[in-house]
């Protein structure tokens, strides 16, 4: 059967895949949730935790160990356009069926969940999960909280721009991204530029850079009027079943802001 991935690339599966290699954490967690654990995953695919230590690792999302992937003889490889390197994906496509997601919004995420469910013959579980996530994001009152600058890196500071999945999650919870429309999805930003933007909130992500309390103090000195907070990056940037925790945790965390 033929399937188009989210980049409109067509793959062909003769039968339901059994040996699946997952190249991104969100989709690895999804495969476990669906009851189809991968035979290989990246060093960053640490959810679910109890499966991480015994899993076979195939390198990092940007530095895949292609020979190790080949040795696993996968029926299907699942990756992501942004998280994996184009050159490595193209090389794998010469030998294997490689399906890529391309996610900018929560709706893209639930579409991915449904499509992966179809690939592995777990449509009922996947559809139920997607429906729960869609309902969670579409129900309830979304209070307008103000502008937010979401930082993902330090020295130099880097922020999540508007054309990102993170931006979609920010908007779903009442924030307006303080970053203006830019070509870069993750622009580098100086303190002077941050002061010019003058955000109401500065959200410091736990990943990929692990911001700590000391960074709050540093930024509060420069932005005495802004609310500077540490946030769990998984709840803003993971687009699989972890979105269930996003629905619960973000609403609780910011309900009284």
Q: What is the pLDDT of residues 60-98, one digit of tens each?
A: 999 999 999 999 999 999 999 999 999 999 999 999 999
**What is the per-residue pLDDT for 3?**
95
User: In terms of C-beta density within 10 A (0-12 exposed, 13-18 middle, 19 or more buried), how is residue 227 classed?
Assistant: middle
Instruction: List Cβ<8 Å contacts ≥24 apart for 8-17.
Output: 9/93, 9/98, 9/99, 9/100, 11/76, 11/97, 11/98, 11/99, 12/97, 13/75, 13/76, 13/97, 13/119, 15/75, 16/120, 16/121, 17/74, 17/75, 17/76, 17/97, 17/119, 17/120
- Model pLDDT for residues 104-127, shown as the tens digit of each residue: 999 999 999 999 999 999 999 999
Chain-centroid distance of CA 71 in Å reads 27
pTM (2 decimals)?
0.91
* pLDDT > 60? residue 255: no
Instruction: Quote the tokens at residue 45.
Output: 């695919």
Place 257 in a pLDDT band, splitting at 50, 70 and 90.
Answer: very low
Place 59 in a pLDDT band, splitting at 50, 70 and 90.
Answer: very high
What distance in Å separates the CA atoms of residue 193 and residue 83, rounded to the nearest whole number? 27
* pLDDT > 80? residue 231: yes
In degrees and rounded to multiples of 5, residue 149 shows phi and psi of: -105, 115
Write down all domains in the chain, each with its CATH number in brackets: 2-137 (3.40.50.1980), 146-254 (3.40.50.1980)
What distance in Å separates the CA atoms of residue 141 and residue 139, rounded to the nearest whole number? 7
What distance in Å separates the CA atoms of residue 3 and residue 19, rounded to the nearest whole number? 17
Torsion, Cα of 130, 232, 148, 184 (10° steps): -80
Side-chain-facing half-sphere of 229: CA atoms under 13 Å: 15
The 8-class DSSP code of residue 7 comes to T
Strands 158-159 and 146-153, by their bridges, are antiparallel
């Amino acid at each position: 059967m033929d399937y188009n991935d989210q980049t409109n690339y067509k793959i062909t599966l003769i039968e339901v895949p059994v040996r699946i290699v997952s190249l991104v954490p969100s989709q690895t967690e999804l495969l476990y949730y669906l009851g189809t654990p991968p035979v290989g995953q990246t060093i960053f695919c640490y959810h679910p935790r109890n499966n991480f230590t015994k899993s076979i690792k195939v390198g990092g999302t940007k530095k895949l160990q292609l020979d190790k992937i080949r040795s696993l003889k996968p029926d299907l490889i699942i990756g992501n356009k942004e998280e994996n390197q184009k050159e490595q994906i193209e090389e794998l496509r010469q030998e294997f069926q490689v399906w890529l997601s391309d996610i900018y919004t929560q709706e893209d995420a639930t579409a991915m969940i449904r499509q992966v469910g179809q690939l592995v013959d777990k449509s009922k579980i996947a559809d139920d999960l997607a429906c729960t996530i869609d309902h969670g994001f579409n129900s309830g009152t979304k209070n307008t909280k103000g502008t937010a600058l979401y930082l993902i890196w330090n020295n130099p500071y880097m922020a999540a721009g508007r054309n990102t999945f993170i931006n979609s999650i920010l908007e779903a919870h009442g924030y307006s991204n303080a970053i203006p429309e830019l070509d870069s999805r993750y622009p580098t930003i100086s303190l002077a530029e941050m002061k010019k933007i003058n955000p109401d909130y500065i959200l410091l992500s736990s990943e990929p850079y692990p911001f700590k309390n000391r960074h709050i103090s540093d930024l509060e000195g420069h932005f005495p009027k802004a609310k500077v907070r540490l946030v769990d990056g998984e709840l803003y940037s993971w687009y699989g079943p972890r979105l269930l925790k996003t629905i619960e945790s973000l609403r609780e965390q910011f309900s009284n802001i």
